[in-house]
Amino acid sequence: MNDSNIDFTKMNYNMIKKLADSFKDDYTNFNITKESILQIIKLLNEDDRKNVQELSIRLSKQIQSFDTEVSRVKNMYNFDKNYLSLGYIAGVDEVGRGPLAGPIVAAAVVLNLNTTKDSELILGIKDSKKLSSKAREELSSKIMKKAISYSFSVIDSNEIDSKGIAWCNNEVFKIAVSKLNTLPNLVLSDGYPIKNFKIKNNYVIKGDEKSASIACASIIAKVYRDNIMKDYSKIYPEYSFEENSGYGTKEHIDAIKKYGPCKIHRMYFLRNII
């Protein structure tokens, strides 16, 4: 759609509503300028019909909401861009440090940080725990399509029991980075410095709220691990892993007490339960 070909004065309410609906929360997916949308809003405001004026209010809120989100995500990209002089930047994050069952999973992501258009940003990225399952899955797909490189690493419950969660947390970071197709010059890790690591590393407290690369790693790692746990739920249906992802919910603990642990439970984590 090209705004230069639209005569807004000849558009009736239904035509404008259809156009407004198509924008949803992201008008950058269309070949239309923000100024043109503001012109539509102006025309709607000048209309005497109440439903047309309400459409104007709704469209104004959509633009405001979208612009706020663009600003938030730009700040996350800019955080990472501060290190671009070093070369490629990777973000790494883990999921599954605290559950009673299942693996710990890490993801590493190298983003294209040389973004010049709002449409190139991956909007909606944030701490994966603050997103709905549907939003995470949609974002995970976008991240993997837009990333320069991404990778996953998995350490199972047996190794967690034998080597400890702290060692596994560090190791799963290192493995994820090593599997990237594009070797980074700097790795931003969420929360913890990576020990015994040959690549330059900066750890970022609450990194999935500050860094675009870490947030993207957090999201794809969460989706990846959740899918692993959904597969395990088919093998061990009594523990409802598809719902709790192995975390210690009341229902999960009750199931452990009733059925005992299964092969993917972390026995060290269960020492105060069984």
Binding-site residue ranges for a divalent metal cation: 93-94, 190
Q: Which two tokens stand for residue 229?
A: 């746990």
In sequence order, what are the beta bridge partners of 107?
93, 152
Contacts of residue 26, defined as CB under 8 A and 6 or more positions apart, other chains included, come to 66, 123
The residue behind tokens 């490629």 is 88
Residues tagged in the binding site annotation:
93-94, 190
Q: Which two tokens stand for residue 244?
A: 């709790």
For residue 26, give the nearest of 163, 102, 145, 124 by alpha carbon: 124
Question: Could you tell me whether strands 89-95 and 149-155 are parallel, antiparallel, or unpaired per DSSP bridges?
Answer: unpaired
CA of 196: how far to CAs of 16, 171, 182, 201, 207, in Å?
59, 9, 20, 11, 21
Q: Where are the beta strands (DSSP E) in the chain?
A: 89-95, 104-110, 149-155, 186-190, 200-204
